[in-house]
């Protein structure tokens, strides 16, 4: 039986600091927010599932790798709320996607 870190899973945590100064109003604030995430790779790392919190925004996502393509999709609830306030609206649901083509893999196959 293998001990220690499980295969294909990772957890990470950190914090982000946000400092705001307003010379006219004479205000100065410093806020620290957590960045916590977990990911699990499945099917020989062809599928990776992710979830976490980015400062104050809950997140979820997945990656699908079918060479030479890699598709990444992420969901963010109230994106960047702690930094930009209500710039994206009072409530926001964002989906970001990236499709990557590995040209190197194409040329190595020929």
pLDDT at 85: 72
Distance from C-alpha of 104 to C-alpha of 106, rounded to nearest angstrom: 5
- Predicted pLDDT of residue 3: 46
Could you list the pLDDT tens digit for every one of the 110 residues in the chain?
444 455 677 777 776 777 778 889 888 888 788 888 999 999 999 999 999 988 888 999 999 999 899 999 999 998 877 777 777 778 889 899 999 998 887 887 65
HEC readout, the chain: CCCCCCCCEEEEEEEEEEEEEECCCCEEEEEEEEEEEEEEEECCCCEEEEEEEECCEEEEEEEEEECCEEEEEEEEECCCHHHHCCCCCCCCEEEEEEEEECHHHHHHHC
Residue pointed to by tokens 């990776």: 48
């Amino acid at each position: 039986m293998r001990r220690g870190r499980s295969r294909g899973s990772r957890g990470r945590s950190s914090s982000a600091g946000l400092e705001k100064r307003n010379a006219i109003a004479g205000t100065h604030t410093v806020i620290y927010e957590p960045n916590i995430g977990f990911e699990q790779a499945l099917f020989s790392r062809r599928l990776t599932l992710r979830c976490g919190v980015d400062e104050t925004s809950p997140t979820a996502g997945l990656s699908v790798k079918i060479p030479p393509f890699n598709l990444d999709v992420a969901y963010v609830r109230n994106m960047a709320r702690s930094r930009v306030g209500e710039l994206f609206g009072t409530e926001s649901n964002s989906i970001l996607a990236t499709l990557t083509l590995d040209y190197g893999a194409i040329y190595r196959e020929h």
